[in-house]
Structure 1
């Protein structure tokens, strides 16, 4: 029995979304992996982009709204577009680069905005350094979460495809 690509991709994403609501380490979340995965496997670009934004909005309804939402949501749109761009050259290398670039860019960009907008740090070189140093533990968990979820999502999909449970993509 062969299931449709979209159905299998959606089921894997539902599992990843549910894991967002389980107890986890700070920043150890599936959203970056979901963004890349959706960009690769959803043929409908709008669905691929809206999915991580919907996950974040739903989470933020429970966790709380904050000033960095536009920055964070914008980054997840970028990661979805990255997934769309690596679709044709998908492999361990492209996934590793996308995951690492995503984690690093998230760390650099969001912490820049924390430094500039939060009022927690002085707006000088010392405050800048303090902000990034304080964020290092979160970066470690973010990196670990991104690579864990990228491995689980893409690995599971690959295995299901190889075992014939999901139909392989047709050449365009």
Structure 2
């Protein structure tokens, strides 16, 4: 991945690209979009997520046990971002750059389930951030690994494609597996 300084510079560049694109795309839809800002996932962010986000009535039956802080600290090659709008933590993002910088794989994206300025916009914002990291690191594609199948149509609307096996299943009117969706950048 390079030196820590190179990583910081590419991270800043990617997040500035993401900010510009997000503001440009959502300025009319979200009046406070210019208040969006990004930082690394910190221990106090995890304390906001757990247990509050997990205790939300819509998530109680999902049994989500993902620990953002542990995953961020697990490996240095992770690309982690906490997504804020004003004083509200609106989402958390975790991706990985492949060893040969072929792709940026979006691993996890979680939105704050409580009312916040970016509610309903976390998926496109997360994809813009992943694509910006891919551009900054000169990766050829962005992959979304193990997406929720109910969200596959939204990913496809944003240019992400099923792999050849899933396209074949879809043509035969069979259920797709959707283990990975890919977009060339």
Pair in the same fold by TM > 0.5: no
Q: Structure with the greater relative contact order (CA < 8 A, sep ≥ 6): 1 or 2? A: 1
TM-score by length of 1: 0.28
Whichever structure has more strand as a proportion of its residues is 2
TM-score by length of 2: 0.26
Whichever structure has more helix as a proportion of its residues is 1
